[in-house]
């Protein structure tokens, strides 16, 4: 029997029979406002050149997939280009946008893929198998490398990390940091692989990627060890009070950004799939409201729209209206 990974603090996820029945009933009933009634706007991606080494650029693909250009390197975070977020297409439905900023086959070579955990909406078999010839190195939490190796990726291209493990590659420091979540792709493998967030530090800028996480003291710990951050990519969406220990509420997302000592907040984990019961625009509306109350800078790029770290101007249109 494989050993199990645990969170830093108790993280109850179980539901009693009554709560589980109510949750299933709510999902079957659905929410008419749970997804947009038309395809959402997408900016085409120009990959003709990287920005200068002194600039860091973020391009969001919806949900938690992000292309990061930093120190002359291309780093792809949690690449999920699938049209559905699970092996069961009825759960989550189709992606909101009919197109992506660029199709996976047209992506330029990728220096690094970072994975936060092995759930289907973050580790997609189809995307990984199409990407593997383009990618130089995969950096993953402990145990996640077994999935990649089984899918035909050479073991020398896979670097597994425990929490607080660091790597240096091409002018970047990568740190696997704690998150408060869980793992598993089947009925019998829960928590047999690790989950994490990532610190990505270059000579000129520093980025924090939360992965999936409930709110917890690890954010302050990360901020003390590695902050401040020029940009944070913070989970915002697919939450519910019934599973709030593993997915933050939007107001907690803003607090987590402050805890890690972030400057500009970019909300992710929304605007692609419906994996919860809330209105599809609720996450971004709640997070921008709380951020405005606290004078916290938030960027709201369209899918495919670039955000440059340290720039005087950044995307902040209310494009979802």
pLDDT (tens digit per residue) in 122-152: 999 999 999 999 999 999 999 999 999 999 9
Identify which of 40, 11, 94 has the alpha carbon closest to the alpha carbon of residue 284: 40
Q: 293 in a domain, yes or no? A: yes
Q: 94 in a domain, yes or no? A: yes
User: Is the pLDDT assigned to residue 88 strictly greater than 80?
Assistant: no
Q: 232 in a domain, yes or no? A: yes
pLDDT tens profile 257-280: 999 999 999 999 999 999 999 999
- Residue 186: both structure tokens together: 């089947």
Looking at residue 28, its pLDDT comes to 79
3-class DSSP string for 119-143: CCCCCCHHHHHHHCCCEEEEEEECC
User: Is the pLDDT assigned to residue 1 strictly greater than 80?
Assistant: no
Residue 281 is part of a domain; what is its CATH number? 3.60.15.10
pLDDT tens profile 19-46: 777 888 878 778 989 999 998 999 999 8
Q: 208 in a domain, yes or no? A: yes
Identify which of 313, 288, 252, 276 has the alpha carbon closest to the alpha carbon of residue 85: 276
Mean pLDDT of all residues in 158-185:
97
- Binned at pLDDT 50, 70 and 90, residue 92 comes out as low
User: Is the pLDDT assigned to residue 89 strictly greater than 70?
Assistant: no
- Give CA torsion, residues 91, 266, 223, 213, to 10 deg: -10
Q: 34 in a domain, yes or no? A: no
Q: 313 in a domain, yes or no? A: no
- Is the entire prediction scored with pTM above 0.85? yes
User: Is the pLDDT assigned to residue 247 strictly greater than 70?
Assistant: yes
Q: 249 in a domain, yes or no? A: yes
Domain range enclosing 100? 56-308
- Binned at pLDDT 50, 70 and 90, residue 255 comes out as very high
Q: 133 in a domain, yes or no? A: yes
Number of domains in the chain: 1
């Amino acid at each position: 029997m494989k050993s199990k990974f645990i969170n830093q603090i108790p993280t109850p996820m179980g539901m009693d029979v009554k709560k589980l029945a109510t949750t299933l009933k709510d999902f079957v009933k659905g929410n008419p406002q749970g997804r947009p009634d038309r395809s959402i706007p997408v900016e085409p991606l120009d990959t003709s050149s990287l920005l200068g080494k002194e600039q860091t650029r973020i391009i969001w693909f919806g949900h938690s997939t992000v292309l990061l250009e930093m120190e002359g390197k291309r780093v792809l975070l949690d690449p999920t280009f699938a049209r559905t977020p699970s092996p069961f297409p009825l759960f989550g439905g189709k992606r909101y946008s009919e197109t992506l900023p660029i199709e996976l086959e047209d992506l330029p070579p990728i220096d690094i893929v970072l994975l936060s955990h092995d759930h289907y909406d973050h580790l997609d078999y189809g995307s990984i198998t199409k990407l593997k010839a383009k990618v130089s190195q995969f950096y993953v939490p402990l145990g996640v490398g077994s999935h990649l190796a089984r899918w035909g990726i050479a073991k020398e291209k896979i670097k597994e990390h425990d929490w607080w493990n660091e790597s240096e590659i091409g002018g970047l420091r990568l740190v696997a940091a704690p998150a408060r979540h869980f793992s598993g792709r089947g009925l019998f493998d829960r928590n047999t692989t690790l989950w994490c967030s990532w610190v990505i530090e270059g000579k000129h800028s520093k980025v924090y990627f939360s992965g999936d996480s409930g709110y917890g003291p690890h954010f302050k710990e990360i901020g003390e060890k590695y902050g401040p951050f020029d940009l944070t990519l913070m989970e915002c969406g697919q939450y519910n009070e019934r599973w709030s220990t593993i997915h933050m509420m939007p107001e907690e997302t803003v607090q987590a950004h402050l805890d890690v000592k972030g400057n500009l907040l970019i909300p992710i984990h929304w605007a692609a799939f419906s994996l919860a019961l809330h209105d599809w625009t609720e996450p971004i509306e709640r997070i921008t409201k709380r951020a405005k109350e606290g004078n916290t800078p938030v960027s709201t790029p369209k899918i495919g729209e670039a955000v440059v770290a340290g720039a005087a101007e950044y995307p902040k249109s209310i494009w979802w209206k």
